[in-house]
Structure 1
Amino acid sequence: MSEALVAVETPGAVVPGVSGARQFWRRLRAQRAAMVAAGVVALLVLVALAAPLLTALEGQDPNTYHSSLVDSARGGVPIGSLGGISGDHWLGVEPQTGRDLFARLVYGARVSLGVALAATVVQIVIGVVVGVSAALGSRWVDQLLSRFTDVIVALPLMIMSLALLAIVPSSFPRPVLVALVIGLIGWGTIAKIVRAQTLTLKQLDYVAAARLSGWGTWRIARRELLPGIAAPIITYAALLVPSNISAEAALSFLGVGVKPPTPSWGQMLTAADVWYQAAPQYLLLPAGALFVTVLALTVLGDGVRTALDPRAASRLRVGTGRKREAKA
C-alpha cells in the first residue's frame, strides 16, 4: 500500500523493491560514463583488497629499505632509469629509503579508501539520526538540533581536524582517528538534507495513514520514512567518498594524518614535494592515483544521483546526451 502511494505522490522516482532496483540499474547502465567510473572504482577496491597478494607476486613489501638502490652521493636519488624501475620493482623505488613504490601505492590505496569509507559511514549515521530526530521531534527539539547542525556546518573542516588530531596521543591508531575526526565534523550537510526530506514526506498520505493506524513515531520513521529518504542518502554518500579521500590526503599532506611507516597517498605526496625534479614518478604516482579515484567516484556519484532521480539533469555531461537521458 505504501509503495503504491509513493508512486502516486512522486512520479518518476525509483520505488523501493524489486521493480525499483531494476529501474535504477537500467538507468545507471544507460550512462556510459557512470559505468566506466564504476569499473574504475571496482578495480581500485580490488587492488586495495588484494594488496598483500600483489606485493607478494612482486616479491616486495611497503616498509623494507633498500639502501643499495639509491645514490647517497646525490642525496638519495634512485639508481637507474625512471626511478629504478626493474623486474623486482615494478614502479621504481622511493628516494632516500629505497622502499618499493608499487607496494606503498597499493597499500596506500587501502588506507585512503578505508578512511574515506569509514568516515562516510560515520557521517551518514550521525546525519540521519540528527535529521530524522529534528524533523519528528517537538518544536524545541527541532530548533536545538537545527542550530547545533548549523554550528557543525560552519566549522572549517581542515582547521578543526588539525586541532583535534594534534592533541590526540600518537598511540591511538591513526587511520581510525582520521576517519572519526572527518566523520564527526562533516555530518552537518547530510543532517540538513535528511531533515528537509523527512519534513516533506511527513505530509504525504501514506505517512498520515500510518499515523492514524496507531503506529508510533519511530516505527513510522523506520517503516515509512527511511525508505523514502534512501535515495538522497545514497546519492550524497556517493559524493561524500571522494570528498573524504581528498580530506584524508590533505591531512596527511599537512603532517597530521596517517603517520609513517603506514603508507598513504597523502603522506607520499608530503614526502615527494622536494623530489619532483630528481624523481618525478614519486610525486606523479600518488597524485595520479588520487586524481583518478576522486574523478571516478565523482562521476559515479553523479550517475547514481541521476539514476535515482531521472527528473534531475546530470551535472556531468560526459558520455550522456539528452536523447539517452529521455529514453532512460
Structure 2
Amino acid sequence: MSEVLAASEAAATDVSVPAAPGARPFWRRLRAQRAALVAAAVVALLILVALAAPLLTALEGQDPTSYHPDLIDSARGGVPVGAFGGAGADHWLGVEPQTGRDLFARLVYGARVSLGVALAATVVQIAIGVAVGVGAALGNRWIDQLLSRITDIIVALPLMIMSLALLAIVPQSFPRPVLVALVIGLIAWGNTAKIVRAQTLTLKGLDYVAAARLSGWGAWRITRRELLPGLAAPVITYAALLVPINISTEAALSFLGVGVKPPTPSWGQMLTAADVWYQAAPQYLMLPAGALFVTVVALTVLGDGVRTALDPRAASRLRVGTGRKREAGADKEDTA
C-alpha cells in the first residue's frame, strides 16, 4: 500500500463515529438544547411559509409577477409612493422600486426557490458523496486511489468560479432553479465523500462488521445492513450543516447574475436588484437580507444541535442557550 493511502487510513482511524442513540434518546437530547428548539421552530415556520406561499399571497390579493406602475413615482426615479415603500392593506410589505411588484409575494415565493434549491443541492451532494466515499473505502487499492484522487480534484475546484462557468453556458430555456441545484450538488460533493470514506474505514474495523464478513455476507449486504446505519448519524449531521451553506451559495450566484433569473423570485436575485436602492428604498434591501440571515443562522444552530444530539460525546460549538445542565441530565437518564 502506498504511503498516501496508508496516511489516509491512519488519519481515518482517528475519526470518531457518532453512535446512533435511537429515536427517543435523540429527541430527549435535542429537546434539552433550547437554542436548537428555537432554531427548529424558525426553520419549520420558514418551510411552512414557503409551502403556503400561494395561500398567503391569495389572502393578500397579490402575486409576485404583476406590475403596479401607478404605485411608482417616476419623477423620483421609480421610488414607491407612500411611506415604508408603499406598505399598506393591499401591499403588506410595500412594492419594489421601478416595477411596483409586491414585496411580500416575492419574498415568500423567493423562500420556495432558495430553500428548494438548497435542499435539492444537499440531496445531490449527499447521494454522490456517500456512493463515492463508501466505494473508495470498500474497494481495492486501485479503486480507493482512483476515487480518492477524483475527490481531491473536486475539493480543489473553486466552487463559485466553476458554477459561474457552467451556469453561463447552459441555455436559458433550462429551468434555472433545477440547474443551480444540480451545479452546486455536482461540484461540492467532495468533502462529503471524504467524511464518508473516513467513517467507513473506521466502521470496517469494528467487530460486528468483521463478524458479518466472516459469516459469508457479501459486500452489498454488509454495506446495507451494517455500514449504512452506522453512517446515518454523521451523514445527517453534515447534511444539516450543508443546507445553510447551499442557501448562501445560491444567493451569491443569483446576486452575481447567473443564478435564478427574473421574473422568478429568489432572495439572492432580490438582493441583486436592491443594491442600488439601499438609500431610497431601504426595505427593498433589508427584507431579503434579513430573511437570508435568519434562515442561515437558524439552520446552522439546528445543525449543531442535531450533531450534539446524535453524538452526546461531542460538545456543542454554540454554547448560548444550549442548556448544559439539562443535557447532562438527559445523558444520565439515557445511561440509567
* Normalised-by-shorter TM-score class: over 0.9
Unaligned runs of 5+ in 2: 1-15, 331-336
Is 1:297 matched with 2:313? no
Q: What is the distance in 2 between the residues matched to 1:201 and 1:81?
A: 62
Question: Equivalent of 2:20, from 14, 21, 30?
Answer: 14
Aligned to 2:252: 250
Paired residue type of 1:210? A
Question: Equivalent of 2:125, from 109, 120, 123?
Answer: 123
Aligned to 1:58: 60
Paired residue type of 1:130? V
Note the alpha carbon deviations across 1:27-48, whole angstroms, 9 max, x for none. 0000000000000000000000
Instruction: State the 1:318 CA deviation.
Output: 1.5
Aligned to 2:25: 23
Question: Equivalent of 1:217, from 206, 216, 219?
Answer: 219
Instruction: State the 1:322 CA deviation.
Output: 3.5
Q: What is the distance in 1 between the residues matched to 2:304 and 2:327?
A: 13
Aligned to 1:180: 182
Taking structure 1 as the reference length, what is the TM-score of the superposition?
0.95
Taking structure 2 as the reference length, what is the TM-score of the superposition?
0.92
Instruction: State the 1:321 CA deviation.
Output: 4.2
Is 1:206 matched with 2:174? no
Aligned to 1:7: none
SS of 2:269 mapped into structure 1: helix
SS of 1:229 mapped into structure 2: helix
Aligned to 1:96: 98
Question: Equivalent of 1:148, from 140, 150, 163?
Answer: 150
* Identical columns (%): 87
Q: What is the distance in 1 between the residues matched to 2:224 and 2:296?
A: 33
Tell me if the contact between 2:17 and 2:234 (Cα under 8 Å) persists in the aligned partners: no
Aligned to 1:4: none
Note the alpha carbon deviations across 1:131-164, whole angstroms, 9 max, x for none. 0000000000000000100110111110000000
User: How many aligned residue pairs are there?
Assistant: 315
Q: What is the distance in 2 between the residues matched to 1:214 and 1:75?
A: 76
Instruction: State the 1:72 CA deviation.
Output: 0.4
Cα distance change, pair 326–274 in 1 and its aligned pair in 2 (3 A): same
Q: What is the distance in 2 between the residues matched to 1:296 and 1:11?
A: 26
Q: What is the distance in 1 between the residues matched to 2:130 and 2:31?
A: 29
Alpha-carbon RMSD across the aligned residues, in angstroms, is: 1.1
Instruction: State the 1:323 CA deviation.
Output: 2.4
Paired residue type of 1:230? A
Tell me if the contact between 1:14 and 1:23 (Cα under 8 Å) persists in the aligned partners: no
Instruction: State the 1:218 CA deviation.
Output: 1.1
Tell me if the contact between 2:19 and 2:230 (Cα under 8 Å) persists in the aligned partners: no
Paired residue type of 2:131? V
Map residues 239-278 of structure 1 onto 2, 5 A cutoff. 239-278=241-280
Instruction: State the 1:93 CA deviation.
Output: 0.2
Unaligned runs of 5+ in 1: 1-9
